[in-house]
Homo-oligomer: A and B are copies of this chain.
Amino acid sequence: MSEDTIRRRATVHDVARAAGVSLATVDRVLNGRPGVRAATAEKVEQAIAELGFARDLNASLMARARDLSVIFFIPDGTNEFMDGLAEAVHRRSPLALADRIHLDLRRIRAFDAAALARSLDQLSAAECDCAVIVSSDAPEVLAAIEAAHRRGVTVMTLVSDLPGSARRNFIGIDNVAAGRTAGSLMGRFLPQGGKVAVVAGSLHLRDHAERLEGFAAALRQEFPRVDIIGPLEGHDERTETADIVSALLDQNPDLAGLYNLGAGNGGLVAALEKSSRSGTVRVIAHELTGPTRAGLRSGAIDVVLDQNPDGEIREVIAAARALALDASRVTVTDPIEIGIFLRDNLR
């Protein structure tokens, strides 16, 4: 194979030549600026398609005055997983900046849909290319996403999706599959069956509801000898969860398993260890955080299912870049995998 068989990537110059127009016109089409007749734009689009032209994002970001800007809106409060997400943003920040992508982090009061909607409404396309939100399903948020989208601000959902909205992309795990995995593991841990209690944060949260659905389905189909108690709601709070778990242990001396599909794991571990039944009851929880790590190490928790926050942030950035490159193309990202952690493969 000789040198001249190597095909150079198509550039704007090639597109201009192929379409029989000037560079300026190609630029107007590419960047959606006015002043191009529909027929001319069509010629340009066709040349782009024929040449397989894709804009060079790096050259583009170098030429632009400002970096690509991604703003994360992450719930504030006592949820350790959300703190982990925020830290992941900070960890990734310098790396992203080296590629001219500026990450910004704003903490929003948890479950305050109105505040989130207000924040989104204030974003202009000039200061923000992509907004990333972790949100529950609320009409004002849906409206704000729609409005942001119209203003030219792409919105992506993280961790918890809003399928009916104008969000461009969702980065997170498949929560039904996560619940199924928990059920399948729990079933294998209890070959003789038994009672398993389920604790959730709130079933009004989409991800929690989906996990419960998957968990119950897996047990029903594969391990009919396992009976589910609950679900009980601990509202992702430490003390409330501790109280619920203590009560469960007291009232069910024969409790064989426990699945906490929400947060509040500090309370879970405390209640288990106080009861002296730690290690006897098979426990599965979610998200690798301080309390769940401690629980794994002490043996109070057997398995933690985790959505890798660093991986999620990385994929958000990859998706934002791809979107900046070609807003009309469907963006494909590496799926976020459900991490399964035992004491022995803690990261």
Contact A345 B334, CB 8 Å, known A58-B99, A62-B58, A302-B188: no
12 A–B contacts, CB within 8 A, in A order: A57-B98, A58-B61, A177-B345, A178-B345, A184-B343, A185-B342, A188-B282, A310-B334, A314-B334, A335-B347, A337-B337, A337-B345
B62 with A59: CB separation less than 8 A = yes
Report B-chain residues with C-beta under 8 Å of the C-beta of A62. Answer: 56, 58-59, 62
Which of B59, B189, B325, B338 is the one whose CB lies under 8 Å from A188? B189
Across-interface contacts of A59 in B (CB, < 8 A): 58, 62
Please pick, from B218, B314, B344, the residue contacting A344 in the complex, using a CB distance under 8 A.
Answer: B218
What is the oligomeric copy number? 2
8 A Cβ contacts from A295-309 to B? 302, 308
19 additional contacts, CB 8 Å, given A58-B100, A181-B345? A9-B97, A56-B62, A58-B58, A58-B59, A58-B99, A59-B62, A62-B62, A98-B325, A188-B188, A188-B189, A188-B282, A189-B189, A191-B191, A214-B344, A308-B337, A335-B347, A337-B337, A340-B340, A340-B345
A345 to B311, CA, bound (A): 18
Q: Is A208 an interface residue (CB 8 A)?
A: no
Q: Bound state CA distance, A308 and B311, in angstroms?
A: 13
Chain B residue, CB-CB nearest to A221: B344
Mark each residue of chain A from 97 to 110: 1 if its CB lies under 8 Å from any CB of chain B, else 0: 11110000000000
Does A125 sit at the interface, judged by CB under 8 A? no
Q: Are A344 and B177 in contact (CB under 8 A)?
A: yes
Question: Which among B56, B191, B345 is the interface contact of A180 at CB below 8 angstroms?
Answer: B345
Contact A344–B54 (Cβ < 8 Å): no
| Contact, CB under 8 Å: A334 / B311 | yes
A98 contacts which chain B residues (CB < 8 A)?
54, 56-57, 325
CA of A293 to CA of B50, assembled, Å: 39
Is B310 within 8 A of A181, CB to CB?
Answer: no
